[in-house]
Amino acid sequence: MISNTRRRRLVKEDLIYGPLPSRRLGRSLGVNLLGSGAKRCSFNCRYCQCGWTAQPTRPLDDVLTDLPTGDQVAEALETRLQQVCRERIAVDVITFSGNGEPTLHPELHAIVKAACDLRNLYAPYAKLAILSNSSTVHRSEVRAALEAIDLKLMKLDAGSETLMRRINLPAAGWEFGAMLQGLAMLDGVVLQAMFVWGRAANTAPASIRDWSDRVAEIGPRGVQIYTLDRVPADPGLTPVARGVLESIAEYARRRAHVPIEVY
């Protein structure tokens, strides 16, 4: 069961937030590129802790407005890093995440460059990370922007287009095959997969086989699998038991021959 204390929607109000403890990354200083108060995403994942996406963004057709500028992001990040240094607060990773899909920001390349420079100046031992749903990774300019990021944490929740559409509810124009090709072309990618039971379960043997085969085709540096930790947008989903996650990981390790961690 998911604790009642975790029932609030986790929409970020700040451009820079944390550092907060992350079960996968350590102490993470978050960078929210999508603005405050509303979720901006190209997917409408049933399991999202921020709730439903009011209008999923089509990456090639929709122009997002009212986003923080690259200069605003850099200024806010430098201010927070200066404070972190003064207060001697540990930061393990600077993470692009927040209210939706960070690769939708039109100034992503410049923002990553600025964040890299600021990291080197104020927190040289911290890594840069991004949490992405992989919907834009087929675009060469997005992959170029991600080159300087140490931890490219990209989603792959299913091994078939049909099941992924059921779980992630992508915006119009999304192509499963193009996404897989983009992931395979992204150097040093780490895949992440959310496994759930209920209305859109992805733990059936055939589903795990298909997912494992896609993982093998992509050839990631590693894979992280996990289940619900907070209340999802769709109340018809429930967490997967730890033992099932361990079984999925063991099967996929043998079939895909890549490191897989369970969280």
With bands split at pLDDT 50, 70 and 90, how would you rate the model's confidence at 23? Answer: confident
Structurally, how many domains does the chain consist of?
1
State mean pLDDT over 17-28: 91
pLDDT at residue number 121: 97
Residue 48: give its domain's CATH number. Answer: 3.20.20.70
pLDDT at residue number 7: 36
> Which long-range contacts link 235-238 to residues 24+ away (Cβ below 8 Å)?
236/46, 236/198, 236/199, 236/200, 237/46, 237/47, 237/196, 237/197, 237/198, 237/199, 237/200, 238/196, 238/197, 238/198
State mean pLDDT over 128-133: 98
pLDDT at residue number 69: 94
pLDDT at residue number 243: 98
Distance separating alpha carbons of residues 207 and 169, to the nearest angstrom? 17
pLDDT at residue number 62: 74
Q: Please, what is the angle between helix 205-218 and helix 242-256, to 10°?
A: 50
- Give percent of the chain above pLDDT 70: 95
Domain with 146 in it: 4-262
pLDDT at residue number 59: 81
Is the pLDDT at 200 greater than 90, yes or no? yes
pLDDT tens readout for residues 72-90: 999 999 999 999 999 999 9
Is the pLDDT at 225 greater than 60, yes or no? yes
- Residue of 100, 105, 103, 13 lying closest to 49 (CA atoms): 100
Q: Model pTM?
A: 0.91
pLDDT at residue number 160: 98
State mean pLDDT over 241-246: 98
pLDDT at residue number 11: 61
What is the rounded radius of gyration, in angstroms, for the C-alpha atoms of the chain?
18
- H or E segment at 17? strand 16-22
pLDDT tens readout for residues 138-186: 999 999 999 999 999 999 999 999 999 999 999 999 999 999 999 999 9
pLDDT at residue number 203: 98
pLDDT at residue number 237: 98
pLDDT at residue number 10: 56
State mean pLDDT over 197-215: 98
